[in-house]
Amino acid sequence: MPTEMSGLATLSDQLILATVLLYVFAMIGYALDLGFGRVRAAAAPARELVSVGAGAAAPADGPPAPAGGSVAPAQGPEPPAWAARAAVAAVALSWLGWAANLGAIVTRGLAVGRWPWGNMYEFVVAICFAAVSAFLVMQIRQPVRFLGAFVSLAAALGLGFAVRYLHVQAGPVVPALNSYWIAIHVTAAILAAGLFILAGVSGILFLVRKDGPSRLPSRADLERVAHQAIVIAFPIWTFAVIAGALWADKAWGRYWGWDPKEVWSFITWIAYAAYLHAKATAGWKGRAATIVQLVAFGCLIFNLVGVNIFLSGLHSYAQVP
């Protein structure tokens, strides 16, 4: 490898280490904000109004609750000022980590002269970047800062796992991956996986959250965040599966061959389709819908990591050390 390319590869590795540190510090800031911020009240059911004569009056013990039983606002004493500053610092560190993660991907790509997700190490690095990107974009539009500690932790652990167990030297890939389809198929899979991870974190928090006041949002809010992420991710994953079939026909002369990666990609698609179908037609919600979602999430994780490590097939060129 030329000296310039070798230097870029080294810079990429260094940026990954910096990214891990930034995500860890961001996680600490989010955790301080979550642990010492305002306590959120439990969701309160709507109060029934008592009809008197021709009209309805509010109950005597206080004003009526919002229609539909919306979540009560935060309660408890004013949080310390340093907790608010920790939250601001955490957001800034997340963006710095995001930039370092992006820099690591770009420099790795420049070093090898190809799309930088030709092996498991590069793939995991890109998925962590996609998960943090999904969180940061959603945070701009919605109050989902509570997810920061968990998304940052997941990204830091994912990158640490990649560095420790999956890292390979920058270099060329097998001929089957030298195709423009890697920019189409794998990119779509990475984007969808990042959103699915965001939904998975929300689903886990849904099961962890207890009844009553908590520093976590209500279960309804957690379920809403997960559902929104999956609604966006599912068509992207569908496109990734179709693009993979088209690439398989170009590379191996068939659209489908029961390869383990193909099978588990389809199983993952079926699982998330079952979740969306249950939500849309059967009206499933709450714990039942979340369990289906987390089963689908488990299928996704096994498809992304387990298949490449534990199963052999036409996709077993991930260069796992």
* Tokens representing residue 297 in the block: 């999430």
8 Å CB contact between 5 and 170: yes
Is the per-residue pLDDT at 105 higher than 90?
yes
Short-list 279, 252, 265, 272, CA closest to 308: 265
Burial class (CB in 10 A: 0-12, 13-18, 19+), 120: buried
Q: Is residue 71 over pLDDT 80?
A: no
Q: Model confidence at 243, in pLDDT bands (50, 70, 90)? A: very high
Largest CA distance in the chain: 89
Chain segment 267-313, per-residue pLDDT in tens: 999 999 999 999 888 778 888 999 999 999 999 999 988 887 777 66
Q: Which residues pair with 56 in a beta bridge?
A: 51
What is the pLDDT, as a whole number, of residue 59?
40
Identify any residues that bridge with 39 across adjacent strands, giving them in sequence order: 75
Q: How far is CA 263 from CA 72, 177, 255, in A?
A: 45, 20, 12
Residue 63 has pLDDT above 80, yes or no: no
- Between 3 and 128, the higher pLDDT residue: 128
Integer distance in angstroms from the first to the last C-alpha of the chain?
20
Q: Is the pLDDT score of 208 beyond 50? A: yes
120-141 and 187-208 helices cross at what angle (nearest 10)? 60
Q: By the 8 A CB rule, do 89 and 32 touch?
A: no
Highest-confidence segment of 29-43, 119-133, 296-310: 119-133
Whether 62 shows a pLDDT value over 90: the answer reads no
Please compute the mean of the pLDDT values over residues 197-218 and round it to a whole number.
Answer: 87
Q: Rounded CA gap, 203 and 78, in Å? A: 29
Give pLDDT, residue 22. Answer: 97
What is the reported pLDDT for 113? 85
Say if residues 302 and 284 touch (Cβ distance below 8 Å). no
Of 96, 108, 77, 78, whose CA–CA distance to 11 is shortest? 108
Task: Report the pLDDT value the prediction gives residue 94, as an integer from 0 to 100.
Answer: 96
In this predicted model, what pLDDT tens digit does every residue of 159-180 receive, in sequence order? 999 999 888 887 777 776 778 8
